[in-house]
Structure 1
Amino acid sequence: MNLPHLRKTLSDKTFSRRTLLAGLAVTSVAVGAAACGAGGGLDKATNTKSATGAEVFPASQVDSLTAAMTNKTLKDLKAERLADGLIPPTNRWFSGLVFGDQAQPVFPLPLSFGLTDNGFALGLPTVTATEKNIAGGYKPDISVDAGVKSAKVSAYDTLTVTIDLLDDGGTLVGKTTIAEGSPFIRYTAEQAGTLQLNLPFTASGDFWTVKAGDTTYGLVVTDGKVDGQSVKLSKGGAAILFAVPADGAADKLATLAPNAVTGSSLAYKISGDTITTTLSYQAKGDTAFAVLPHHAKNLDSSVKADLGTYPSIFGTLKLCTGTDLIYTTPVSEPTSALDIDSLSGAEKKQLSDQVTKDIAAIPAFPADTYFGGKALYRVAMLWQLATQLKLDGPAGQAKAKLTDTLGQWTDPTGATKRDAFCFVYDDQNKGVVGLTPSFGSDEFNDHHFHYGYFLYAAGVLTQDDPALAKQYAPVMNLLAADIASSAGNGKFPDRRVFDAYAGHSWASGTSPFADGNNQESSSEAITAWTGLAKWAKSSGNDALETEAIWMLSTEAQAGLAYWTNFDASEPVYSGFGHKIVPLNWGGKRDYATWFSPEPAAMLGILVIPMSPASTYLGGDSDRINANVAEATSGKFDQKFGDYLLMYAALAGESERKAALQTAQTLDDKWIDDGNSRSYLLGWLMALKS
């Protein structure tokens, strides 16, 4: 939900991909389709890990850790529409279906979907753009009265969600399946009965159609009969509804519609400088699925986009035939250190003086998980610089403060001794929560933003200190498990925040919004996965490191595609008046933040905290210059001015020199609490071309 925050990350251009990938070349991971992991192991013939072989935080690892931690629920999230036995699905694109008194619409794309008092409704969103908004909200063109009184999510996995529709006595009447990327909404009758539609469908061979506004909708029925607005189904019969692309054919989709999607799975492979992601729809035959612009950019040649296109708020969706969505992204390195070897003697002297000064003035650490996490990250970067510059005294001071504070945070029973600087395990909502919440963290908002800073600091501090890593591991592993489990361990949802189809994270825990879930700081998500990779490396968790690099690389590309470097030639941006989109939702995109109307905040929240992994933001000098001009009008003495100088330097050597000159005299009040003048100067000095 991204409330009043400040965030972001960058990557050291001198870091060698070969170094990173030495132990990861040709690493394949397959993730099970359901909450329960599939069996399997390492296939030595193919060097591919199956779901079991690549589990990240299986129950055998986390059960004892959660048992040892203080257990406490800070807030009842009211998972009103969730079947017993399921992990509460916070931070998902469909969370609004589950939590709160009223179900909210969701956006599986290309369709929008919502629950109603007696069934459900669906429709293809109408996409419009204004100066500050791209809208494609809930559009219930087709409503289905199933004669039910309530609904519960009864299953979910990587792409699909199954919803039980119940009568007034709680008896199951039917099941509805929705899936990200699927143009089909399927209702399967668990009892013989009749559906009432709001519009009359007309027969067209073996299927039926109706027009609502400019969109044609199709209907295919198995084991049933259609009579205008009524669909009579036998037990086990199904009604499948779909939107027909304006440039597609209804009969082609009607042929695929009976091939029910019953689940989905995810696999990813790192090979050299490339990551291949495969999203698979489980069906008896070919189905149809839509690819987003970031998929289409590097779509595997085996994927055939042959069924037409749909408009969406993210750009044109191409509709494909098959079961496997396969695409590639370049690897983004989880770099955590600046390369200061190339600095001149004068620069090292200036930086040494500043590091000494900043470490001597380290303020008290905040007690909440957001600002507390940022403070730990800040000091970790100062300690790292001090170590690189061989400043033994200041490095010792910084390490002492870090080890003491992290020692408090990583005490599993800290909550029995104090009311701050500690975590608890919430067995009701299935996650780790700081005892001093911030920005709705007790509602599971922004956990990856918060915990990414902790993991980053711990990973940096313990990279050459196995004993210290072992000391921190019981709690740090739980923070990592909170946002990055993938083993169906029963204690945490798999990949709590990360949406493999969308390619990025969602920040709101319960998503109590009519526009779906949302995320603001794509850059702090990058920091989270960088920190996760650093902690995985320090703690010797190879499966976690591979997963973190996959999420980091995927989110970096989505961040460019939908936040900072979108393709302005796409029709969806006609009428939108800005260079960036700071806040993306399931059903709209806004030139806005949760906390400030200032242009500097719009870009600042997308680059904070400019870690060494943030160089993924580079590569397009003209776009960077345009983004900075819109955000600052040439004025850096304002909130986020430090981070915007660092981002501006990515445009080229002349911009770097200008940014460094400005940074030398930037007033301290414009240096963020997660940054320091030392790191600001060091970053700009190290970014020499």
Structure 2
Amino acid sequence: MSVALHNNIAPPQPFLFPTVNSTVLPDPSTYFSPKPLKTPLPTNSFFQNFVLKNGDQHEYIHPYIIKSSLSTLSICYPSLFSNSSFFYQVFILDLTISILNNSHPNSTHLVSSYNDLSVTLDLSSSNLRFLLVRGSPFVTCQVLDKVEIFITTVHAILDFYANSVNTKYTIKLNNNQTWVLYADSPIKLSHVGSKITSSPFLGVIRIAVLSNSESEAVLDQFSSCYPVSGKSSLKKPFSIKYKWERKGRGDLLMLAHPLHVKLLKKGRRVAVLEDFKYKSIDGDLVGVVGDSWVLKTEPVSVTWHSIKGVKEESYCEIRNALRKDVGALDSNKMGTNSSYFYGKLVARAARFALIAEEVCYPEVIPAVKKFLKDTIEPWLDGTFGGNGFLYDGKWGGIVTKQGSTDTTADFGFGIYNDHHFHLGYYLYGIAVLAKIDPAWGLKYKPQAYTLMTDFMNLGKKQYSKYPRLRCFDLWKLHSWAAGLTEFPDGRNQESTSEAVNGYYAAALMGLAYGDTHLVAIGSTILAMEIQSAQTWWHVRQGDDLYPEDFTKENRVVGILWANKRDSALWFAPAESREARLGIQLLPLLPTSEVLFSDAKFARELVEWTEPVLARKGVGEGWKGFLYALEGIYDQNSALKRIKKLKGYDDGNSLSNLLWWIYSRRGKDEGSHGSFCLYNHYCH
């Protein structure tokens, strides 16, 4: 994959971590046809439920929920259930498609192909192939041999009629839905009760629901052109291009979610149909005509240090905090072998070196460098006792030693949960260490790139053992965290800020190694992740994207699922607002200023959270993040409260909080930059 920014430094050959035969990973061979079965395979995809356990758990493929069970495929245009705590899309068997007289009714589907924007499901025993393309208002089925189609519904059919040439049928149900079925050649359909049968048919059928009374004419106009698959590419910084392979006649009609619409570069070959809309848990989906889209986001500058610089008068105070924090570093007293918590401690220490650079205090950097070497190297060379990184060849990726035998260890890292979270912390530490010790960086460059590639692979041949962008969803434009676990509501992600950290750290690693390609890719995905967090996780007063009862009571989503929005967290109830705020801000970094660039919303979030601080048992670490967010608009108040803290999150510190507060600058305040022209002495 090429980008506009190139360098002449070839990526290193990948480091081969020891292989392991995991005892907890599922066998992927049941649901992938032989062609795409070769490792690596997707572990956080939009169709993951289709290839786990019985393969019969539904998935949301905008605008429909799709369920494939045995030799049938069901389609649902979902309604929404909501209250002040959560809301979700309700799945009902609106239409179920199969064939009459199937000699193998218990056979199941196979994934015959997939890519960023589509998955193809074959019901082999039925001779039906479903082209499930994300954002298509139609579900397209290729009937591969002459069979009699059989369609059922849980609703009563109130009306059923065909056009004059039997290529379009209208099906009105008693739940106020009207569906239309198009065929590329005449087909004879009849119905008895809630069952529809066809004469023997070979060809293509397309099914769509009418979203409103005006949508039928649009569907009629574009029913003859259908997408077979869709791919995305990142060839220019801060830009993603979609390209659909299509068949049939005429132009291609697709649907765009709200962030697509915001970023879509409108041109001669793309037309937006503002009045053609489908409802969605992610906001209205709007019609777009065109088989090639370009999405362009505002650039995000990846910097080692604060964007506007630290106030010079604060140097002495920050140095005093650094002296204590760095003096307490002890690689022999990490207190954990968890890949997640260990990684947080590594990244916390790496912050000290960068803060020291900003406040002209190089004296502490050697101690930080030694700590980073002592803590990172054992994970890279396989000498870390009790845990470590291994390679799984079944799905294709890095797992931990603990995770290879226990699905709950390392928060499910061994079943491909949270890879961008955990590895992002290590990449941050590696990037900083490679910056301050280039010789060390060169020595461990293969290991560093392998960790990065596990979740940020874009198809380079030497990294063919890892899937394409393990966590980042190029259609939704954000990451998913939960891996090979079957969930009724699909994939999910809790901490957007840790996702941001993962791609930010990868871009910093590109800076450390002079790899402009990695900087460009990391920055682009980082920018998209930030845009998505601000669109779907940050809930502003008066927004109309989500139901009114949920918006009124929440300023931030706890867990965002493909099919659900929840105010609760994995580790805390919805009432723990301080944790909900903190998990969407940590770790506190220069890029956090971009993530929370809306000072008005920061105030809304702090004021929404503030009342729960009086609750017994609120952790000092969570308070620190609330005060940090307050510092965006009220530095004096935040500073006073930070100085009263009795403890900090395990990935945070007093040094980091002081750095954050003293680097919050108004629009008219200048920048000191990142270099010290002379030393300042504290007395």
Gap regions ≥5 residues in structure 2: 191-195, 404-409, 667-683
Q: Does 1:543 align with 2:517?
A: yes
Q: Does 1:397 align with 2:367?
A: yes
The structural deviation recorded for 1:491 is 1.0
Q: Is the 8 A contact 2:130 2:141 kept in 1?
A: yes
Match of 2:261 among 282, 296, 303: 296
Say if 1:524 and 1:418 are closer, same or farther in 2 by CA, change over 3 A.
closer
Match of 2:639 among 653, 656, 660: 660
Q: Note the alpha carbon deviations across 1:576-610, whole angstroms, 9 max, x for none.
A: 13122121111111111111011111221111112
Amino acid of the structure 2 residue aligned with 1:277:
I
Counterpart position of 1:159: 117
Counterpart position of 1:204: 163
Q: Does 1:672 align with 2:649?
A: yes
Say if 1:422 and 1:351 are closer, same or farther in 2 by CA, change over 3 A.
same
Q: Note the alpha carbon deviations across 1:242-271, whole angstroms, 9 max, x for none.
A: 122215322432342332312212234656
Amino acid of the structure 2 residue aligned with 1:582:
G
Query: What is the CA–CA distance in structure 2 between the aligned matches of 1:634 and 1:193, rounded to whole Å?
Result: 62
The structural deviation recorded for 1:391 is 4.0
Say if 1:421 and 1:334 are closer, same or farther in 2 by CA, change over 3 A.
farther
- Give 1:343-422 correspondences, 5 Å limit: 343-345=311-313, 347-363=314-330, 364-365=333-334, 366-411=336-381, 414=382, 419-422=385-388
Say if 1:91 and 1:174 are closer, same or farther in 2 by CA, change over 3 A.
same
Q: TM-score, normalised by structure 2?
A: 0.85
Q: Is the 8 A contact 2:42 2:468 kept in 1?
A: no
Counterpart position of 1:15: none
Counterpart position of 2:294: 326
Q: Is the 8 A contact 2:540 2:604 kept in 1?
A: no
Q: Note the alpha carbon deviations across 1:486-529, whole angstroms, 9 max, x for none.
A: 11754111111111110100111124111111111111110011
Match of 2:69 among 101, 107, 116: 116
Say if 1:323 and 1:646 are closer, same or farther in 2 by CA, change over 3 A.
same
Q: Is the 8 A contact 2:307 2:590 kept in 1?
A: no
- Give 1:440-455 correspondences, 5 Å limit: 440-455=412-427
Q: Is the 8 A contact 1:280 1:325 kept in 2?
A: yes
Q: Which deviates further from its counterpart, 431-440 or 276-285? A: 276-285
Q: Is the 8 A contact 1:144 1:197 kept in 2?
A: yes
Q: Note the alpha carbon deviations across 1:626-680, whole angstroms, 9 max, x for none.
A: 1112122273963511112112222x2xx12211111011111xx1001111111
Q: Which deviates further from its counterpart, 214-223 or 174-183? A: 214-223
Query: What is the CA–CA distance in structure 2 between the aligned matches of 1:74 and 1:377, rounded to whole Å?
Result: 31
Q: Is the 8 A contact 2:606 2:626 kept in 1?
A: yes
Q: Does 1:65 align with 2:9?
A: no
Amino acid of the structure 1 residue aligned with 2:161:
T
Q: Is the 8 A contact 2:70 2:109 kept in 1?
A: no
Q: Is the 8 A contact 2:310 2:359 kept in 1?
A: no
Say if 1:222 and 1:185 are closer, same or farther in 2 by CA, change over 3 A.
same
Say if 1:511 and 1:241 are closer, same or farther in 2 by CA, change over 3 A.
farther
The structural deviation recorded for 1:539 is 2.6
Query: What is the CA–CA distance in structure 2 between the aligned matches of 1:153 and 1:218, rounded to whole Å?
Result: 26
- Give 1:96-111 correspondences, 5 Å limit: 96-111=49-64
Query: What is the CA–CA distance in structure 2 between the aligned matches of 1:580 and 1:564, rounded to whole Å?
Result: 5
Say if 1:390 and 1:420 are closer, same or farther in 2 by CA, change over 3 A.
farther
Amino acid of the structure 2 residue aligned with 1:425:
Y
Query: What is the CA–CA distance in structure 2 between the aligned matches of 1:141 and 1:110, rounded to whole Å?
Result: 13
Q: Is the 8 A contact 1:368 1:434 kept in 2?
A: no
Counterpart position of 2:494: 520
Counterpart position of 2:670: none
Q: Is the 8 A contact 2:497 2:587 kept in 1?
A: yes
Query: What is the CA–CA distance in structure 1 between the aligned matches of 2:557 and 2:298, rounded to whole Å?
Result: 23
Q: Is the 8 A contact 2:131 2:229 kept in 1?
A: no
Counterpart position of 1:280: 243
Q: Is the 8 A contact 2:75 2:94 kept in 1?
A: yes
SS in 2 for 1:191: strand
SS in 1 for 2:466: coil
Say if 1:265 and 1:175 are closer, same or farther in 2 by CA, change over 3 A.
same
Q: Is the 8 A contact 2:86 2:567 kept in 1?
A: yes
Query: What is the CA–CA distance in structure 2 between the aligned matches of 1:154 and 1:647, rounded to whole Å?
Result: 48
Match of 1:647 among 622, 629, 638: 629
Query: What is the CA–CA distance in structure 2 between the aligned matches of 1:166 and 1:500, rounded to whole Å?
Result: 29
Q: TM-score, normalised by structure 1?
A: 0.84
Identical counterparts, % of pairs: 24
SS in 2 for 1:644: helix
Query: What is the CA–CA distance in structure 2 between the aligned matches of 1:575 and 1:368, rounded to whole Å?
Result: 39
Q: Which deviates further from its counterpart, 210-219 or 103-112? A: 210-219
Amino acid of the structure 1 residue aligned with 2:253:
A
Q: Note the alpha carbon deviations across 1:342-365, whole angstroms, 9 max, x for none.
A: 4334x2122111111111212523
Counterpart position of 2:33: 83
Q: Does 1:580 align with 2:556?
A: yes
Q: Is the 8 A contact 1:189 1:233 kept in 2?
A: no
Amino acid of the structure 2 residue aligned with 1:509:
G
Match of 2:459 among 487, 510, 514: 487
SS in 2 for 1:100: coil
Query: What is the CA–CA distance in structure 1 between the aligned matches of 2:318 and 2:307, rounded to whole Å?
Result: 13
Q: Is the 8 A contact 2:187 2:201 kept in 1?
A: no
Say if 1:294 and 1:667 are closer, same or farther in 2 by CA, change over 3 A.
same
Query: What is the CA–CA distance in structure 1 between the aligned matches of 2:307 and 2:222, rounded to whole Å?
Result: 54
Counterpart position of 2:210: 244
Amino acid of the structure 1 residue aligned with 2:477:
G
Q: Which deviates further from its counterpart, 290-299 or 593-602? A: 290-299
Query: What is the CA–CA distance in structure 2 between the aligned matches of 1:395 and 1:217, rounded to whole Å?
Result: 66
Q: Note the alpha carbon deviations across 1:219-250, whole angstroms, 9 max, x for none.
A: 11234623121234544x12211122215322
Match of 2:142 among 183, 188, 191: 188
SS in 1 for 2:455: helix
Query: What is the CA–CA distance in structure 1 between the aligned matches of 2:86 and 2:97, rounded to whole Å?
Result: 30
Query: What is the CA–CA distance in structure 1 between the aligned matches of 2:442 and 2:8, rounded to whole Å?
Result: 22
Query: What is the CA–CA distance in structure 1 between the aligned matches of 2:490 and 2:295, rounded to whole Å?
Result: 25
Amino acid of the structure 1 residue aligned with 2:503:
W
Counterpart position of 2:533: 559
Q: Is the 8 A contact 1:483 1:496 kept in 2?
A: yes
- Give 1:141-152 correspondences, 5 Å limit: 141-146=94-99, 147=102, 148=105, 149-152=107-110
Say if 1:464 and 1:484 are closer, same or farther in 2 by CA, change over 3 A.
same
How many pairs align? 620
SS in 2 for 1:192: strand
Q: Note the alpha carbon deviations across 1:450-473, whole angstroms, 9 max, x for none.
A: 111111111122125332112222
Say if 1:436 and 1:471 are closer, same or farther in 2 by CA, change over 3 A.
farther
Say if 1:607 and 1:465 are closer, same or farther in 2 by CA, change over 3 A.
same
Q: Is the 8 A contact 1:449 1:528 kept in 2?
A: yes
Amino acid of the structure 2 residue aligned with 1:65:
F
- The two structures, once aligned, show a CA RMSD in angstroms of 2.6
Counterpart position of 2:677: none
Q: Which deviates further from its counterpart, 175-184 or 535-544? A: 535-544
SS in 1 for 2:79: coil
The structural deviation recorded for 1:409 is 1.2
SS in 1 for 2:272: coil
Counterpart position of 1:174: 128
Counterpart position of 2:569: 593
Query: What is the CA–CA distance in structure 2 between the aligned matches of 1:324 and 1:166, rounded to whole Å?
Result: 31
Query: What is the CA–CA distance in structure 2 between the aligned matches of 1:74 and 1:403, rounded to whole Å?
Result: 32
Q: Does 1:683 align with 2:634?
A: no
Q: Which deviates further from its counterpart, 350-359 or 465-474? A: 465-474
Amino acid of the structure 2 residue aligned with 1:202:
Y
Query: What is the CA–CA distance in structure 1 between the aligned matches of 2:189 and 2:113, rounded to whole Å?
Result: 31
Query: What is the CA–CA distance in structure 1 between the aligned matches of 2:8 and 2:182, rounded to whole Å?
Result: 39
The structural deviation recorded for 1:81 is 1.6
Say if 1:568 and 1:192 are closer, same or farther in 2 by CA, change over 3 A.
farther
